[in-house]
A = this chain, B = another copy of it.
Amino acid sequence: MNILRISLSQINPILGDFKGNISKIADSIRQAKELESDIIAFPELALCGYPPEDLLLRPSFPNDSLRAIDHLLPFTKDICAIVGYARVDDNGLVHNSAAVISDGNLQAYYDKIELPNYGVFDEKRYFTQGSKPLAIKLNDTIIAVTICEDIWVSEGVPEKGAIKNGAEIIVNISASPFHAGKIEIRESLVCGLARRSKAYVCYTNLLGGQDELVFDGGAIVANPDGTMICSSPRFDENIVTIDLPLREKDESKHSTVVASQHPGIVIVPSKIKSDTKRNINQCPICAKMEKVDEIYKAIVLGTRDYITKNGFKKVLIGLSGGIDSALTACIAVDAFGKENVIGVTMPSEFTSDGTLSDAEKLAENLDIKLYKVPISEILGSYYSELGESLGPGKSGLEKENLQARIRGNILMALSNKFGWLVLTTGNKSETAVGYCTLYGDMAGGFAVIKDVPKTMVYKLSYYVNEKIGRELIPVSTIERPPTAELRPDQKDEDSLPPYPLLDSIIHLYVEDDKSKEDIIAAGYDSDVVNDVIRMIDLSEYKRRQAPPGVKITPKAFGRDRRMPITNKYGMFSKEGF
């Protein structure tokens, strides 16, 4: 064999939907066979979806995953498929594994050795780590099989095993969640491994949204010299297929490891006649995406998958006339189509003509249905009944929050009546400092831009308008100073530092885990830093009750950042002890 043709499939499975996922995988195998591929590789845990979390603790789940592999066997005549699945061993231990199937048989399996247990990953909670690298021999070619984290540990057991086994190709099947810029890290990992091991590295990644995570796909193939020779489009299901020219095999020169001398190498029967293959188009290298572009696409995919995989068809959004809800509505229309997005504007006595007309203009630009439900009368009825309990004295925070909560109730009433899912519109900056109302603007099923800092909200808004080539989000919405409009003449900057400053401090404290002292030492004003950190710490209880949203930064709120609510760490004085 002078050429090995490999297909890398990025499918979008539904977690736990074994039947549907089997059919997706079988379908990809069929396509790869039509292209006369020798091998097709699927992402990590492609068969069950990733991450299954505590479903893995219910013994029936990994057992069903084992059975599901059997259903794939009949599809593997004349092709070798590498499929990620959860494997139960004879002792009942569960592994994160890759099945190598061909010719109707499970030829070999590999148990992931490096189990990530940081960030959003809890793999040591679920899986027993493997101990032995796997290499397979297909005709004369040795191929090492690895899973995700295995290649993130430079010169770890899997890498050393691949080299020792004389692998000419290293396949890596991954479920690597998106954050902005991560693709470059992956590319450099893949190319670095190729260079060190002098092997082709073929990397395939999962696709799709799963609760707070988005898997962006993005197959990568690197040459043994460490240059990238192929990368697939991201954010869509697809299969890329590439021909890899192989080394001359000359047994007398011992250029190839003899399988029988290496107990770690499994010989996979193969009837492949690669010399008779018709030409294919070599897979190109996809153009780099702008940061704003990949973030936008990640949010659309994550939102679409959350809604549709959970069985919803239409979404409901409270449109304030502000930039956050405008951007959220644009994303929703992109994800679901204008006929499936309903807006509600809920003006109060503090709503300016400008914001109200902006909400209407946005709905018009997007061509979506808009309800109008004023809230002043309802607010009045609360005060009639509550007056005595609230006692004398000026209304304050409770009045601001009541307005937000009345709006939340209105959205939820429509949601309950019609089965539409409410999208919330809070960004990362306000989620961080708690500039939002529990059960008010935080009420809803999915928080679309929860991990998007306000400064990025602006960039995305300009991007949305540019992409379509006209004013979708009214420029007046973008240019108006941000306001919650819950009291007269309120402006965000009355309560918060300017957003560029706020976002920098949030970045340092939340994503980089810097201490207050570190941040002040970096040149930020100590009063501002103290204020911001105090607000972030005190808002943990709110975030705990927030709906999930798409992770787009290296550290999102949610499973990515697990902070105690009860703690006085932020409050203790360094000098005091």
Q: Which residues of A contact B (CB under 8 A)?
A: 14-20, 22, 49, 51-55, 57-61, 64, 67-68, 71, 117-118, 122, 124-125, 209-211, 305-306, 309-310, 344, 371, 373-375, 377-378, 380-382, 384-386, 388-391, 396-398, 401-402, 405-406, 408-410, 412-417, 438-439, 443, 445, 513-515, 517-518, 541, 544-548, 561-574, 576-577
List the B side residues contacting A414 at CB < 8 Å.
386, 389-390, 398
Cα A572 to Cα B48 with chains together (Å) = 12
Cα A368 to Cα B54 with chains together (Å) = 42
Cα A381 to Cα B564 with chains together (Å) = 40
Cβ–Cβ contact A563 & B117, under 8 A: no
- Min CB distance A493 to B, Å, is 22
Cβ–Cβ contact A16 & B570, under 8 A: yes
Cβ–Cβ contact A19 & B573, under 8 A: yes
Cβ–Cβ contact B397 & A416, under 8 A: yes
Which residue of the partner chain B has the closest CB to A307?
A: B566
Cα A401 to Cα B413 with chains together (Å) = 7
Contact (A60, B562) CB under 8 Å given A385-B375, A409-B409 = no
Closest 6 CB pairs of A and B: A16-B569, A60-B515, A398-B416, A381-B381, A17-B568, A15-B567
Cβ–Cβ contact B518 & A55, under 8 A: no
List the B side residues contacting A382 at CB < 8 Å.
378, 409-410, 413
Cβ–Cβ contact B545 & A18, under 8 A: no
Which residue of the partner chain B has the closest CB to A212?
A: B565
- Min CB distance A454 to B, Å, is 23
List the B side residues contacting A413 at CB < 8 Å.
382, 386, 390, 398, 401-402
- Min CB distance A46 to B, Å, is 15
List the B side residues contacting A391 at CB < 8 Å.
417
Cβ–Cβ contact A566 & B306, under 8 A: yes
Cβ–Cβ contact B344 & A55, under 8 A: no
List the B side residues contacting A562 at CB < 8 Å.
53-54, 122
- Min CB distance A165 to B, Å, is 29
Which residue of the partner chain B has the closest CB to A545?
A: B545
Contact (A566, B305) CB under 8 Å given A439-B408, A439-B439 = yes
Cβ–Cβ contact A61 & B569, under 8 A: yes
Which residue of the partner chain B has the closest CB to A121?
A: B125
Q: Determine which of B54, B438, B445 lies in contact with A443 in the assembled complex, contact meaning CB atoms within 8 Å.
A: B438
Contact (A371, B344) CB under 8 Å given A409-B409, A439-B408, A548-B544 = no
A-B contact pairs, 26 of them (CB 8 A): A14-B567, A15-B567, A15-B569, A16-B571, A20-B568, A53-B562, A53-B564, A54-B561, A61-B569, A122-B122, A122-B562, A209-B566, A211-B564, A371-B388, A371-B389, A378-B382, A382-B413, A398-B416, A398-B417, A402-B413, A405-B405, A405-B412, A412-B438, A412-B439, A545-B545, A545-B546
- Min CB distance A558 to B, Å, is 10
List the B side residues contacting A20 at CB < 8 Å.
568, 572
Cβ–Cβ contact A577 & B18, under 8 A: yes
- Min CB distance A193 to B, Å, is 25
Cα A557 to Cα B156 with chains together (Å) = 37
Cβ–Cβ contact B515 & A55, under 8 A: no
Which residue of the partner chain B has the closest CB to A118?
A: B125
Which residue of the partner chain B has the closest CB to A55?
A: B569
- Min CB distance A375 to B, Å, is 7
List the B side residues contacting A417 at CB < 8 Å.
390-391, 396-398
Cβ–Cβ contact A49 & B567, under 8 A: yes
Q: Supply 10 further A-B pairs (C-beta < 8 A) apart from A59-B513, A309-B568, A380-B381.
A: A17-B568, A19-B573, A22-B577, A49-B567, A55-B569, A306-B566, A382-B410, A401-B413, A412-B439, A438-B443
Cα A562 to Cα B559 with chains together (Å) = 10
Cα A118 to Cα B128 with chains together (Å) = 12
Cα A240 to Cα B51 with chains together (Å) = 46
Cβ–Cβ contact B385 & A377, under 8 A: yes
List the B side residues contacting A514 at CB < 8 Å.
58
Which residue of the partner chain B has the closest CB to A393?
A: B417
